[in-house]
Amino acid sequence: MNDIINEINRLKKEKNAVILAHNYQIPEIQDIADFVGDSLGLSQQAAKTDADVIVFCGVHFMAETASIISPDKKVLIPDPEAGCSLASTIDAEQLIAWKKEHPGAVVVSYVNTTAEVKAESDYCVTSSNAVKVVESIPKEKKILFLPDRFLGMYVSAVTGRNMEIWNGACHVHEKIGDINFDDARAKHPNAEFLIHPECGCSTSCMLKSQLYFDCKNIHIFSTEGMINYVKESDADEFVIATEVGILHRLKKIKPQSNYFPVSDESVCEYMKMITLEKLYESLLHEKYEVKVPEEIAQKARIPIDRMLSIV
């Protein structure tokens, strides 16, 4: 293990490379990365890096976003099969048809989409800034929000905006909606509950909290929002409703606290596809480059730049 870590670090220096890892990556990848974060944070790092090579340890749409933001960099993904169930719920043709049904509407696309979908959008958002982006759009404008219906319902509820919402979902977060929170509350009565807005339970908890329990200890956050909350919280017990990969980072930040996933089965198999061996091979041979065609990249850069300007 130490040998491959040493080789990755050597290659990184030799090639002037930076390793970006999402919060859902396996612990070994998070530990060797230069930056670990959510989609927004990693996009910001990709935009400002001085590295010649960006190795994106995440899923394919994230590497595409880095390629769009930094067209002069070589962007690598250690496993090109690392896709996203949410991103696959809509393609550019479907979006174009939807736009024709709602002429003049503003298209707000979650960053969990393909480059082609971004190119047909007006704004991109992440779970960190979706509310702020929607609030920045004139109230008289109709909004088409895609593809995650749970994040869309959450944003609509917080902002009070009447939005058309695409019927997509992350297969991991959607399953969390089936969790019995009464049971979780009984097991951890003193815990803070941190819930990702992509979860099937997020809107129900926020709008119909009395169906579950007193929501005073429930907080809806992006993954980076969870990180920041734990840093500042005095609590010593947290129940986490998102992909379990984030627990590794939380434990590193505040090891004296206890962390419990709402479900041990909240695992994204795509996020777990990248290993140290694949990272090493990708960096060694500079293989699996992700390069968005310039015509698409130019159009997609507009909504991404708007996203990055609203934080």
Binding residue positions for iminosuccinate? 22, 39, 110-112, 127, 196-198, 223
Q: How many Å apart are CA 206 and CA 191, to the nearest integer?
A: 17
Q: Residue with structure tokens 């503003």?
A: 106
Residues in the annotated binding site for [4Fe-4S] cluster: 84, 170, 268
Cα distance between residue 308 and residue 311, in whole Å: 6
Helix (H) or strand (E) segment spanning residue 57: strand 53-57
Q: Which residue positions form the known binding site?
A: 22, 39, 84, 110-112, 127, 170, 196-198, 223, 268
The whole-angstrom separation of Cα 269 and Cα 266 is 10
Strands 163-165 and 143-146: parallel
User: CA–CA separation, 187 vs 223, rounded Å?
Assistant: 23
Cα 7 from Cα 177, distance rounded (Å): 42
The neighbouring-strand residues paired with 145 are 108, 165
